[in-house]
């Protein structure tokens, strides 16, 4: 059991040699005194005897005192005398002429006794092979000084050392080293450093900030009061911190250790079989350790090696030091310092979502509330909704479960959303991003350039996407610049944000928002919901497997890829390669049929209608429209407003149904841009009633370039300024009621009309 001396003397359970009333002035050998008990005393009294070398024998042992020393003995009762000093170098114990044990005091060492009364003694005891062989007690006047104390004895013999509570040594600490045997060493109220050495030692620090070393063997270390550091060493040790803030130190372990301060257990390396109580802090080895705190404020230092530190509850300080460490702060406002290596702050056990910013070194929410982080490269979130932000370095961020937001920042980051609906923004650098399970979004907001992202192939380039690798993402958010974004066969959510974006939903029931800018959106197969946003946006059905019906006014589609589509905020629409029906809204639309025999109606607004290939029907309806038929036998009907009609190749029809659709006044007159007699184009006036005075639908009478005669239904032509104009009189007043212009000087005949 440990012995902590708090009285000015120590009673040693042994047969000790007692010197009393000695007045010898010469070296003297004593006989066998093993039956006596007591202490060999160095003290100050009124009788002073000087010795140079002093020897005595007892129990078969010879004791030699070497060096100069003074002793004063007064009937066994010692009292201080001013000015007296004792000097000695070492005590040597011999058996049969051979050294057996040595008490060495670093020579020369002066023990200075003060003027106040007290007892200052050195006791030597012997009792065979079982009880303490040596007992040394140093009293302490305030001026007493001693540099060091070394005890050496046979490994089978224990040594017991006690220090008076008032002893003060030169450096403020008491370094004591035990023997290879099983020692009992007690400190005083000062700052002691005690090493039990080999054997099963009991070392007690008492008060003061002590450093206790168990050495080899199954040791018991008790720090006592104040802030102590306990090194158990090899063996199954019992470490008792006592009061104060105490540390279990395994820095000299030859293998990694596992320490649990809450459970009071240790394993691995020097911690194997250890039990711990009253310990607040732990220091690991230079290898891979697992250090776990308790409900208090713990300081855990992993040192070198790839360590795992768990702070538990309380405001903990975790230092990974060198190596790739994982730090779990737990509850409380913790300080996490990863040190060298690639280190991770792990919040996987947090009971609420956390917000971690590695660049700012801050944490909030859940177990991260109040945390500060330094030298941390990676972060693991909780099972709830987290926000994890990296730094300028190469970070690894794992959101785990929950709907997480991961922001890599600069550097080549690895971001994993894991379960939940996560949003992942890699930032600058060639990032590797995995959305995990759930409906996840790869986000390029803040990119310095437009990006190209394809969810189907996992390819990404341009801006912050350059060099990125993406997997398991269902959704995309583009940059504020011009992006090309591609979904996959699943239901995707794609947002273009700013810039003139091109977005393809591909398969699945997609939700697409072009955002600001002039965007092109192609939902692909599936029932898609598409929003053009601000700007002039195009709804594109090229690639559809069948003809489509698109109505921009009601915002619904049908047929082919448009089946069950809904859309809004689009000013333009493009059909498929099949027979499409495209209808505009009240705004200025651009509608393109592409291939196929398309029917296109601009409705109100100043529209541009493109038939492209195929025999198309283009209807301008209201507004000043431009109708372009391209190839095929097209029918072009401008409707109201000043329209421009171009049939393109092949035999086209230019249709007029009411006289008000093309007025005599230039502001309302339609113009045919490419009328071709060689392609057998026709001007179709058959629906207009040429004689408003007669019942039914009367046909026009083409009179060439002659003037009107006042007969209703006359139709003539004039060439003015290199262009040709058609005029019609439907009421017989000799004045034109409508007019159509043709580019170029064309000699029209009745064969050019459907009258």
Of 323, 341, 359, the residue at which a domain comes to its end is: 341
Compute CA distances 74 → 23, 43, 656, whole Å: 9, 9, 144
Residue 434 predicted with pLDDT over 60: yes
Long-range contacts of 514-520 (CB under 8 A, 24+ apart): 514/569, 515/478, 517/482
Q: Average pLDDT for residues 91-118, to the nearest whole number?
A: 39
pLDDT band for position 192 (cuts 50, 70, 90): confident
Q: Average pLDDT for residues 584-603, to the nearest whole number?
A: 98
Are 261 and 325 contained in the same domain? yes
> Do 121 and 78 contact (CB within 8 A), yes or no?
yes
Q: How many CB atoms lie within 10 A of CB 154?
A: 16
Of 189, 209, 234, the residue at which a domain comes to its end is: 234
470 alpha-carbon distance from chain centroid: 18
Are 176 and 99 contained in the same domain? yes
Are 694 and 720 contained in the same domain? yes
In a domain, 255, yes or no: yes
For 471-514, the DSSP string reads ES--EEE--SS--EEE--SS--EEE--SS--EEE--SS--EEE-
Could you tell me the two tokens for 174? 């008491």
Of all residues in the chain, what percent carry a pLDDT higher than 70? 76
Q: What is the mean pLDDT of the chain?
A: 82
Integer Cα distance of 609 and 616 in angstroms: 10
Are 289 and 216 contained in the same domain? no
pLDDT tens digit sequence for 18-47: 222 222 222 222 222 222 222 233 322 222
pLDDT tens digit sequence for 518-556: 999 999 999 999 999 999 999 999 999 999 999 999 999
Are 202 and 310 contained in the same domain? no
**What integer pLDDT is reported at residue 438 of this predicted model?**
98
Q: How far apart are the first and last CA of the chain?
A: 127
What's phi and psi for 367, nearest 5 deg? Answer: -70, -10
Q: Average pLDDT for residues 694-701, to the nearest whole number?
A: 96
> Judging by DSSP bridges, how do beta strands 529-531 and 538-540 pair with one another?
unpaired
Query: Domain containing 307: what range?
Result: 245-341
Are 42 and 167 contained in the same domain? yes
Are 192 and 288 contained in the same domain? no
Integer Cα distance of 172 and 149 in angstroms: 14
Integer Cα distance of 85 and 515 in angstroms: 95
Domain with 752 in it: what CATH number? 2.150.10.10
Higher pLDDT: 504 or 162? It is 504
Are 276 and 207 contained in the same domain? no
Are 36 and 164 contained in the same domain? yes
**What integer pLDDT is reported at residue 636 of this predicted model?**
99
Residue 136 predicted with pLDDT over 50: no
Q: Which of 89-98, 252-261, 282-291, 292-301 has the lowest mean pLDDT?
A: 89-98
Q: Which of 175-189, 450-464, 693-707 has the lowest mean pLDDT?
A: 175-189
**What integer pLDDT is reported at residue 187 of this predicted model?**
72
Could you tell me the two tokens for 537? 């946006």
In a domain, 650, yes or no: no
Residue 436 predicted with pLDDT over 50: yes
Q: How many domains does the chain have?
A: 3
In a domain, 728, yes or no: yes
> Do 753 and 685 contact (CB within 8 A), yes or no?
yes
Q: Average pLDDT for residues 229-247, to the nearest whole number?
A: 97
**What integer pLDDT is reported at residue 206 of this predicted model?**
87
Are 155 and 193 contained in the same domain? yes
Q: How many CB atoms lie within 10 A of CB 254?
A: 10
- CB contact set of 134 (below 8 Å; sequence gap of 6+): 101, 103, 124, 125, 151, 153, 159, 160, 161
Q: Which of 4-8, 285-289, 436-440 has the lowest mean pLDDT?
A: 4-8
**pTM of the complete model beyond 0.85:** no
Q: Average pLDDT for residues 613-624, to the nearest whole number?
A: 98
Burial 470-481 (b: 16+ CB within 10 A, else e): bebbbbbbbbbb
Of 309, 341, 373, the residue at which a domain comes to its end is: 341
Are 4 and 99 contained in the same domain? yes
Residue 399 predicted with pLDDT over 80: yes
**What integer pLDDT is reported at residue 182 of this predicted model?**
73
**What integer pLDDT is reported at residue 120 of this predicted model?**
29
Are 704 and 738 contained in the same domain? yes
**What integer pLDDT is reported at residue 197 of this predicted model?**
85
């Amino acid at each position: 059991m440990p012995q902590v001396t708090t009285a000015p003397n120590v009673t040693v359970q042994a047969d000790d040699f007692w010197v009393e009333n000695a007045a010898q002035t010469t070296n003297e050998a004593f006989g066998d005194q093993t039956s006596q008990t007591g202490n060999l005393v160095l003290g100050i009294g009124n009788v002073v005897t000087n010795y140079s070398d002093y020897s005595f024998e007892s129990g078969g042992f010879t004791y030699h005192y070497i060096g100069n020393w003074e002793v004063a003995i007064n009937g066994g009762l010692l009292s201080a005398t001013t000015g007296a000093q004792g000097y000695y170098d070492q005590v040597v114990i011999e058996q049969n002429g051979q050294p057996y044990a040595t008490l060495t005091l670093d020579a020369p060492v002066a023990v200075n006794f003060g003027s106040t009364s007290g007892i200052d003694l050195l006791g030597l005891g012997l009792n065979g092979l079982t009880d303490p062989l040596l007992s040394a007690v140093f009293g302490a006047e305030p001026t007493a000084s001693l540099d060091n104390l070394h005890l050496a004895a046979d490994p089978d013999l224990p040594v017991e050392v006690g220090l008076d509570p008032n002893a003060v040594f030169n450096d403020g600490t008491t370094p004591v080293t035990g023997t290879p045997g099983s020692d009992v060493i007690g400190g005083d109220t000062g700052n002691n450093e005690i090493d039990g050495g080999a054997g099963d030692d009991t070392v007690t620090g008492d008060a003061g900030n002590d450093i206790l070393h168990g050495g080899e063997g199954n040791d018991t270390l008790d720090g006592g009061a104040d802030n102590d550091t306990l090194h158990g060493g090899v063996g199954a040790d019992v470490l008792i911190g006592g009061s104060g803030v105490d540390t279990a130190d395994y820095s000299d372990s030859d293998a990694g250790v596992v320490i649990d301060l809450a459970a009071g257990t240790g394993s691995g390396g020097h911690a194997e079989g250890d039990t711990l109580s009253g310990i607040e802090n732990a220091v690991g080895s230079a290898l891979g350790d697992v250090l776990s705190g308790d409900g208090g404020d713990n300081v855990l230092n992993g040192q070198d090696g790839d360590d795992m530190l768990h702070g538990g509850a309380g405001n903990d300080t975790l230092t990974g030091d060198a190596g790739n460490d994982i730090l779990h702060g737990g509850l409380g406002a913790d300080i996490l310092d990863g040190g060298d290596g690639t280190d991770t702050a792990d919040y996987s056990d947090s009971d609420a979502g956390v917000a971690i910013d590695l660049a700012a070194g801050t944490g909030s929410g859940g177990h991260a509330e109040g945390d500060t982080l330094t030298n941390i490269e990676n972060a693991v979130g909780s099972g709830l909704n987290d926000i994890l932000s990296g730094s300028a370095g190469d970070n690894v961020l794992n959101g785990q479960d929950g709907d997480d937001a991961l922001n890599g920042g600069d550097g080549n980051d690895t971001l994993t959303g894991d379960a939940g609906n996560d949003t992942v923004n890699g930032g600058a650098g060639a990032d590797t991003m995995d959305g995990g399970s759930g409906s996840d979004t790869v986000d390029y907001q803040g990119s310095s350039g437009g990006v190209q992202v394809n969810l189907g192939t996992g390819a990404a380039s341009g801006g912050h996407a350059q060099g990125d690798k993406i997997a398991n993402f269902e959704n995309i958010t583009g940059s504020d610049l011009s992006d090309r974004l591609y979904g996959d066969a699943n239901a995707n959510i794609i947002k273009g944000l700013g810039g003139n974006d091109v977005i393809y939903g591909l398969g699945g029931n997609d939700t697409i928002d072009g955002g600001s800018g002039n965007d092109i959106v192609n939902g692909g197969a599936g029932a898609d919901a598409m929003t053009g946003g601000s700007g002039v946006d195009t709804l594109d059905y090229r690639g559809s497997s069948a003809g489509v019906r698109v109505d921009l006014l009601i915002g619904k589609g049908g047929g082919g890829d448009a089946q069950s589509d809904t859309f809004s905020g689009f000013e333009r629409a493009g059909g498929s390669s099949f027979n499409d029906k495209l209808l505009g809204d009240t705004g200025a639309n651009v509608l393109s049929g592409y291939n196929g025999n398309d029917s296109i109606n601009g409705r109100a607004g100043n529209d541009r209608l493109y038939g492209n290939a195929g025999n198309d029907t283009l209807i301008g309806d209201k507004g000043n429209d431009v109708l372009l038929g391209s190839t095929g036998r097209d029918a072009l009907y401008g409707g109201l407003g000043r329209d421009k009609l171009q049939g393109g190749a092949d035999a086209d029809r230019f249709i007029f149904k009411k006289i008000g659709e093309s007025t005599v006044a230039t502001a309302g007159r339609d113009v045919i841009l490419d009328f071709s007699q060689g392609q057998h184009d026709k001007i179709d006036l058959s629906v207009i009633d040429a004689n408003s005075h007669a019942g039914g639908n009367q046909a026009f009478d083409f009179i060439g370039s002659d003037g009107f005669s006042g007969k209703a239904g006359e139709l003539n032509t004039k060439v003015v300024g290199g262009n040709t104009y058609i005029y019609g009189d439907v009421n017989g007043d000799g004045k034109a009621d409508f007019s159509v212009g043709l580019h170029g000087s064309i000699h029209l005949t009745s064969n050019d009309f459907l009258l």
